[in-house]
Amino acid sequence: MKISNIRTEILKAPLKKPFITSLRRVDALEDLVVIIECDDGSLGYGEGAQTPVITGETIGSMIAAITYIKPYITGLELEEFDNILHLIHTVIIKNTTAKSALEIALYDLKAKAEKLPLYQMLGGKKTKFRTDITISMNETDKMIADSLQAVALGYDTLKIKIGDDPQKDIDRIIAIHDILDKHISLRLDANQGWTAEESVTLLHALEKRDIIAEFIEQPVSAENIEGLKYIKERVQTPLLADESVFSLKDAKRLLEMQAIDYINIKLAKTAGITQALQLAELSAEFGVKCMIGCMLEGPISVAAGVHVASAKADSITMLDLDAVALLASHPVHTDIIFNESEITLSDDTVGLGVTYTNH
């Protein structure tokens, strides 16, 4: 089973509504699909989302990176799996989303060759999951309406995007909290929009009103490691690191400093499945739980995230894999059942359980 070709296509899909954070606004999905072809006709699918303000990558840069890597691994047998992974990660540095797309496609092929669902190949058993849903940053009335709509659809955990204006952020959170039933959990994501001092002040203001979110995600800039520790030492609300953690080295530093409570694993940051699994294992060694998240991605990348969540279900206890639910339509067939907040893996499939139908 030899790699005979690697090609890319563009996956475009409309969103149900604009996706808005303190870093960016996206009105429609435009991702890169990677298809690895083998000489026996087998196809492996991967996907990467362009997030230049987070990973530094665009569609063009991902295509360029994959084009550069392609001759190093074309012609190799799939049985050289570990060597192929090594080449993907060493012939060019960084480019984590491009590498992730290649890795996802490669793991898809390997699981298909073993005639197993990917999660089973990775040692996973769990098949049923619940995810949160993102409430995009807007005026307070709009965010309240979106929150109520999400609850009506069956979501019991909402991820509230904030970070553009500290006072507005407080008003938004209080208003959303006060209008929802008490069993609804709130996750707050400031997307690096606050300073460490603002974070403490704002969280104290919420905590005095007995509003303690499930976590506050990446309130300060990615490089402000000391700021994360400053916040953690002063608030009750658990602290989750996202943009500060791309690699095992990043995570180990934060864990050794005891600067965070949780880690957000994203395949686009970890350069794929391999390091995501290692990151979950490292976190478990420190007794720290993880969330697996996604960029604004299509079903291929999100499927990979669900398989990883199954493989490391003991340490990955939270899911933020709502991207498929945000799409109005997409040209991807999947054996995974995405039913709003509920995601179910199939044991009657092989590989990722996805087929890209737009080629």
The candidate with the shortest Cα–Cα distance to 359, out of 332, 328, 327, is 332
Sign of CA dihedral 116, 117, 122, 128: negative
Q: How far is CA 137 from CA 81, 140, 212, 273, 284, in A?
A: 42, 8, 19, 30, 32
Sheet containing strand 43-49, edge to edge, reads: 3-20, 25-38, 43-49
Placement of tokens 């499939």 in the chain: 349
CA distances from 320 to 78, 85, 283, 306 (A): 32, 26, 18, 10
- Helices 96-113, 59-73: crossing angle, 10 deg rounding: 50
Active site residue 142: no
Per the CB < 8 A criterion, the answer to whether 36 and 46 are in contact is: yes
Rounded Cα distance between 11 and 49, Å, is 10
Q: Which one of 99, 159, 232, 266 is the catalytic residue?
A: 266
Among this protein's residues, is 229 annotated catalytic? no
Tell me the Cα Rg of the chain. 20
Residues with Cβ within 8 Å of residue 161, at least 6 apart in sequence: 20, 21, 22, 134, 135, 136, 137, 189, 191
Q: Which candidate in 159, 161, 232, 312 is catalytic?
A: 161
> How many whole angstroms from its chain centre is CA 71?
29
Tokens encoding 203:
């969280």
Q: Distance between CA 89 and CA 87 in Å, rounded?
A: 5
Residue from 309, 283, 291 nearest 214 by CA: 291
Which residues are part of the catalytic machinery? 161, 266
